[in-house]
Amino acid sequence: MNDNNFFYLGEDLGMGANKLYGAPGGLQVLSQVATNGNQHLMNSTGLRQRQRPLEIKTEQGSAYIGEGAHDYGRPVENLSFDSLIGAQNRSPLLYGSLTRYQQQYGPINQPVVMMVGMPLQMMSGETAKEIANQVRQWLKGVHTWQADGQEQRVEIAEVKLTPQPVGALFDYVLDETAKFIPERASLLKEEVGILSVGFNTLEMLVVRDRAPVERFTVGQTVGVRRLLELVNPAGVYSLGELDIALRAGHLDIESALPVWAREVNGEIEKRWGTALKRFARVIVVGGGALLLKDALTRQFNGKAVLSDEPVLSIARGLYKLLMMKK
């Protein structure tokens, strides 16, 4: 492929945030969607006015997306894996993310080649092939939408899929020009653990000599959402509202954090156990990794390496992998 003819993007389809990374850089857009938000208050004396979230309009209707969306309409929270194969609340997130990316880095005029990271559960089992086809069918083609009333158009020419933790591995071993970092390249010949603590899932992948070791590879739904559920047992707040409070440092997690940490460590112990001694390195990524940094460092006996960009690491690695293989 000619570099000038295509725009290359890595996309991490996260339940907490949709992450994109390309040559200009990366960004994340919180995976919050709200519909039916058509009733707006006029400016009110004595009340602080906030900027409304981005509004995405398609043939299917309109929705707010991103941070604060749940304050302006009916929250849509679908954390099932079906939501990643083109369900109604995913298209607005994709379009919102592409809109924000272009607002920050400039218009995407070339057809896009996209490497998409998928949860491990969706990349294995009897339905994996069918799911992969559905994702490609949803993403590939010409997409048109309105963002805050402005017409938008992006063509996605090619879609490649891989498990999300693979992005973290190649982010660690490749530099920004998609060349192997000499002191890290040898890891691809050894046994390496990759741990991604995302919003919805805890994903564990082990790679030996560039091939997955399936008995050590699993995804479990004990990501950051589990922590938020522990502090919100009555379901008074949406997960999106709690996520914003957590990111802002306004959520009291003092008592819930140790409980969640034990659950996460328990899942790691159950799957990896004494095999941890075999791993040359454990690469740790995801927003939840920042919260669990101390607990994970102790469990991995100094073998853990936290990415310098734990939230964007997977998307950045997917972009690097695209560039290496083109």
Report the predicted TM-score, pTM, of the whole model to 2 decimal places: 0.88
Q: Tell me, what's the pLDDT at 1?
A: 43
Q: 185 and 274 in contact (C-beta within 8 Å)?
A: no
DSSP-derived pairing of the beta strands 211-212 and 202-208 = antiparallel
CA–CA gap between residue 262 and residue 268 (Å, rounded): 10
Q: What is the pLDDT of residues 83-107, one digit of tens each?
A: 555 545 578 889 999 999 999 999 9
Q: Tell me, what's the pLDDT at 47?
A: 41
CA distances, 319 to each of 63, 74, 161, 162, 171 (Å): 28, 34, 12, 12, 9
Look at residues 6, 13, 16, 7 and name the one whose alpha carbon lies nearest to residue 288. Answer: 16
How sure is the predictor about 77, in pLDDT bands with cuts at 50, 70 and 90? low
Judged against a pLDDT cut of 80, whether residue 63 lies above it is answered with yes
Q: Which residue has the tokens 């707040």?
A: 237
Look at residues 92, 97, 88 and name the one whose alpha carbon lies nearest to residue 63. Answer: 92
Token readout for 37 is 């938000």
Set out the domains of the chain in order of their start, with CATH numbers.
3-164+317-325 (3.30.420.40), 183-307 (3.30.420.40)
* Residue 174 DSSP label: B
Average pLDDT over every residue of 172-196 = 94
User: Residue 119's CB: how many other CB atoms inside 10 A?
Assistant: 23
Question: What is the dihedral sign for C-alpha 214, 83, 283, 169?
Answer: positive
Average pLDDT over every residue of 197-218 = 90
User: Residue 303's CB: how many other CB atoms inside 10 A?
Assistant: 17
Token readout for 276 is 């941890």
Q: Tell me, what's the pLDDT at 78?
A: 59
